[in-house]
Copies of this chain bind each other. A is one copy, B any other.
């Protein structure tokens, strides 16, 4: 089946999300002192990993980065530029510094993933799961390549939960027959804001306790 053509709204959200995740990956790679190849690999995986898994699950071809190979060049160029520029400027990246582009990318990807699945006419929960997969997977691959347990599983602050909430906002806007742009932006904003407030106020998800 030919995939539904990407609307301008979806394309825009996806491109900004790719840039945000690439940036978060480059900062993380700098913290970890990866070598030059590692920086490029981690930026590419973070930027395109989530969308690629989503497209595999939806059987959507050509993949985003196959169709728009100029974005692949953009991410590689960003990585090389950052290496030259940041080294020169004695930039000392902190964990906090990478969390903001990460939150923005997560919000945008959960919106674009959910919106793209809605175009296939899938049930609401399935669309939200696609959004969460898109949002979470790129960051998980970034952390794995940096030899870290994916943050999404260890950080007890809400992450996947924010993407889940943002996805339902997109589904809700679609059900209310809102146009696509505001729905996507609203979902992305809700997910990113929830994550940002969660970081700042140190929200915790209740853990399973079997004693007491």
Contacts and interface: CB of A to CB of B under 8 A. Distances in A.
Interface of A: 29-30, 33-39, 41, 44, 52, 56-57, 59, 61, 63, 65-66, 69, 72-73, 83, 86-87, 90-93, 122-123, 125-126, 129, 145, 147, 149, 153-154, 156, 158-161, 204-211
Given A63-B57, A69-B123, A72-B125, A36 B205 contact: yes
Contacts of A33: 207-210
A34 to B, nearest CB: 6
A122 B125 CA distance: 33
Contacts of A83: 208
Contacts of A205: 35-37
A207 B161 contact: no
Contacts of A122: 66, 69
A206 to B, nearest CB: 6
Query: Most chain-B Cβ atoms within 10 A of its Cβ — which of A44, A129, A147, A154?
Result: A129
A6 to B, nearest CB: 18
Nearest to A48: B129
Contacts of A145: 153
B210 A87 contact: yes
List of 10 A-B pairs having minimum Cβ-Cβ separation, nearest first = A35-B205, A69-B123, A35-B207, A59-B61, A69-B126, A33-B208, A66-B126, A37-B161, A69-B125, A35-B156
A125 B36 CA distance: 18
A122 B59 CA distance: 18
A129 B210 contact: no
Nearest to A61: B59
Contacts of A159: 37
Nearest to A32: B208
A87 B209 contact: yes
